[in-house]
Structure 1
Amino acid sequence: MGERTANVQDGHIGETLESLAVTIRGRRTASSEESYTARLLAGKEDSLLKKLAEEASEVIMACKDGDHDHIRYEAADLVYHLLVVLERYGVTVEELAGELDARMK
């Protein structure tokens, strides 16, 4: 587990996800030596998918501990890695939103 983020303020999830997705997309052209995201996008498929599974299990463990701040921290890691997976496979956040919207009808 990484160091917990201090002084977290509420944000706007749509804006945050869109901004993060744009940042991740921009890392496609970054140097793999200098960017963790670029390494995930260009590296071995299994490495990225294992990382996604690891982050999901860390969310589960944080939930089992009942630690609110830890859950938030690990959920952020999971969402970040999920967005990297989506970018790698060409699924946009707009498509994801459309899928979620369709399920609410």
Structure 2
Amino acid sequence: MADERFLAKLWATIESRKADVAAQGSYTRKLLDAPPRIRRKIIEEAYEVNEAHQALSDGKDTKDHLAHEAADLLYHLLVLLASADVTPTEVYAVLEHRHGQPHVPKPGNP
């Protein structure tokens, strides 16, 4: 059964493509070479996740489709992070810090 350990494997694959500039045939490498393309893909995939969720909520789609769209978004987000040298560990640390902190609204933003 797949679990969160696969994200570590996926991250390792993305990092290996990043390190191998000769991997020109790799989709990941092509994304890493074109940061604006990665950003566009994030927007596109987030939109598709939203659409799949709405369709599921309306009883017109399946959880499987939402999972596929979410997988696309996670992959592209990891590529974006790798392109900026931000590791999942750094993201986890932010989430962990937020989890341990009470929510304090910012002025003008409850």
Q: Equivalents in 1 of 2:28, 2:98: separation in Å?
A: 30
What are the ranges of 5 or more consecutive residues in structure 1 without an aligned counterpart?
1-9
Name the count of aligned residue pairs.
94
Gaps of 5+ in 2: 57-61, 101-110
Greater radius of gyration (CA): 2
Q: Which amino acid aligns with 1:92?
A: T
User: Quick check: 1:91 aligned with 2:83?
Assistant: no
Task: Give the equivalent residue in structure 1 for 2:30.
Answer: 39
Identity %: 37
String of CA shifts for 1:18-77, please: whole Å, max 9, x gaps: 11111000001153531000000012x221100110000000010011021110000000
- Whether 2:11 is the aligned partner of 1:16: answer no
What is the CA RMSD across the aligned residues, in angstroms? 1.2
Q: Distance in 2 between matches of 1:30 and 1:95?
A: 24
Runs of 4+ in 1 over 6 A off after TM superposition: none
Specify the alignment match of 2:40 in structure 1: 50
Specify the alignment match of 1:5 in structure 2.
none
- TM-score for the superposition, normalised by structure 1: 0.84
